[in-house]
């Protein structure tokens, strides 16, 4: 039994996880990224052929499904954007931010 597409506060229903459905949804929520989507799709399919694996295509579908889901729900963008920034920021930058957050008298290396 298939469940109905969930909108959860979005006027656009969640697309099926197929290239055509994802492309149509992206065109509705963030058309400026269509070229980026096509380039990453081309890359994923080339890797799939080279590696003789569907893994790159599955990864491509999941990545774009995630990005479209976030674009469908603008309130999520902040949460996922902050998580991505923390995950990809240089360690030295994170250490500086942490030391500023702890204040001048404490650092992560000096427990109180």
Give the tokens for residue 29: 């929520």
User: Among all chains, which residue has been given the structure tokens 């030391």?
Assistant: 99
Q: Considering only the C-alpha atoms of the chain, give the largest distance between any 2 of them, rounded to a whole number of Å.
A: 59
Per-residue pLDDT of 44-93, as tens digits, reads: 999 999 999 999 999 999 999 988 888 887 766 566 665 665 565 556 55
**Assigned domain for 13 exists:** no
Instruction: Indicate left, alpha or beta for 83 from its phi (over 0: left) and psi (-120 to 50: alpha).
Output: alpha
Distance between CA atoms of residues 4 and 108, nearest Å: 48
pTM, full prediction: 0.61
Number of domains in the chain: 1
**Assigned domain for 6 exists:** no
- Domain hosting 97: range is 19-102
**Assigned domain for 25 exists:** yes
pLDDT of 72: 83
**Assigned domain for 9 exists:** no
């Amino acid at each position: 039994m298939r469940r109905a597409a969930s909108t959860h506060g979005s006027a656009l229903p969640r697309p099926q996880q197929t290239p055509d459905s994802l492309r149509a949804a992206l065109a509705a929520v963030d058309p400026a990224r269509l070229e980026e989507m096509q380039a990453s799709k081309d890359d994923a399919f080339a890797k799939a052929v080279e590696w003789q694996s569907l893994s790159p295509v599955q990864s491509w579908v999941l990545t774009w499904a995630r990005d479209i889901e976030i674009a469908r729900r603008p309130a999520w963008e902040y949460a996922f954007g902050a998580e991505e920034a923390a995950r990809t920021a240089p360690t030295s930058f994170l250490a500086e931010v942490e030391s500023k957050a702890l204040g001048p008298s404490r650092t992560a290396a000096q427990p109180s």
